[in-house]
Amino acid sequence: PKKHIATPTRTKEILAKYKFSFKKSLGQNFLVDVNILENIIKHAGIDKDTGAIEIGPGIGALTEQLAIHADKVVAYEIDQRLLPILKDTLQDYSNIDIVHQDILESDVADTIKMNFRPDQAVSIVANLPYYITTPILMKLLREKLPVDSLTVMIQKEVAERMAAKPNSKSYGSLTIAVQYYTQAEVVMNVPKSVFMPQPNVDSSILQLVTREKPPVHVENEDYFFNIVQACFAQRRKTLRNNLTSHFKGTYDKETITHMLDDIGIDGIRRGESLDMGEFALLANGFYHAVN
Ligand code: SAM
């Protein structure tokens, strides 16, 4: 059998053959550990019936493992220099489609429709470029794609924020945004040594399982996310004070205090103590008062 791409030796060989130089600006840190890749695939729940979408295949380390374990893989890569390399490294696999596109500009819903059966389970899997982790994940979540899960390697601190629980340091508006759409769990911390070149930050594998419907009812999603953000604007401040700043020119502090009383949430609490249900209550209450 052929050697896997995801080993230090093979990766160095490929990089040398194509005189490839890493672009830091594209977040290029390639995985060189097959065990880690198999862990990602296991947590992604990939089997031979699954359709897989990958973001940023690099030289194909994860793409290869996806091709082995899934039915079909579609991978988006922005760096043109990698296209001839991928053609070479993945030549033995007939179930891979490489799309030369910026994931932030792409129509993933259309790609799913064109490449997978309507009843097919689809998973998004990626070792994401760190510089745009949050924009990529928020784009994919907001589009409410018909995917079962997103399993991604990202910066440890960001993974912790996305999977955080109330009353913890990592809990914030990003937590609410991600958990509104998915059930989030950090499944594994990963040492820097599994990457080439090694990044400056620690990494974790984050698993996001898509919810069939949001866990709370909100009257207006944009309004809800705005209020949540306002409640965390200054972490040390009370809800009353953060909301007073947010509604400056519309409501004064006294009015805000009354509104919070009516809603039934104590204004001297801090944003980090509210769970998603309480944020929904709060946002819906203000939404009805205003509209
Ligand atoms: N999957 C490979 C691996 O694990 O070895 C490479 C992962 S590397 C962390 C991130 C990859 O994403 C790079 O190949 C990079 O060129 C690509 N990339 C960066 N920005 C992108 C974007 N906006 N759209 C698509 N791919 C992107």
Percent of the chain with pLDDT over 70: 99
Identify the pLDDT of residue 220. 97
As a whole number of angstroms, the distance between CA 40 and CA 205 comes to 7
Ligand 1 shell residues, CB under 6 Å: 26-31, 55-58, 61-62, 76-79, 82, 102-104, 127, 129, 132
Identify the pLDDT of residue 9. 96
Mean pLDDT of the chain: 97
**Residues near 151 by Cβ (< 8 Å), separated by ≥ 6?**
40, 43, 44, 123, 124, 125, 126, 187, 205, 206, 207, 208
64 is in an annotated binding site: no
Identify the pLDDT of residue 264. 97
As a whole number of angstroms, the distance between CA 128 and CA 178 comes to 16
Query: How confident is residue 204, by pLDDT bands cut at 50, 70 and 90?
Result: very high
Cα atoms found within 13 Å of the Cα of residue 7, Cβ hemisphere only: 6
- Segments of the chain assigned E as strands: 30-31, 51-55, 72-77, 96-100, 122-127, 149-155, 182-190, 195-196, 203-210
Identify the pLDDT of residue 59. 98
Query: How many A from CA of 80 to the centre of ligand 1?
Result: 11
Identify the pLDDT of residue 3. 82
Q: 43-94, pLDDT tens digit by residue?
A: 999 999 999 999 999 999 999 999 999 999 999 999 999 999 999 999 999 9
| Ligand 1 atom 23, closest CA | 102
Per residue, the 3-state secondary structure of 133-181, as one string, reads HHHHHHHHHHCCCCCCEEEEEEEHHHHHHHCCCCCCCCCCHHHHHHHHH
Residue to probe by mutation, ligand 1, list 4, 14, 30, 73, most atoms within 8 Å of CB: 30
Query: How many A from CA of 75 to the centre of ligand 1?
Result: 10
Scanning 28-93, the segments in alpha helix (DSSP H) are 34-43, 61-69, 82-89
Query: 34-52: buried (b, 16+ CB within 10 Å) or exposed (e) per residue?
Result: bebbebbbebbebeeebbb
Mean pLDDT of 219-233: 98
Percent of the chain with pLDDT over 90: 98
Residue written as tokens 């070149």?
197
Query: How many A from CA of 33 to the centre of ligand 1?
Result: 17
Query: How confident is residue 290, by pLDDT bands cut at 50, 70 and 90?
Result: confident
Q: At what angle do helices 34-43 and 61-69 cross, to 10 degrees?
A: 50
Stronger pLDDT, 2 or 108, i.e. the higher one = 108
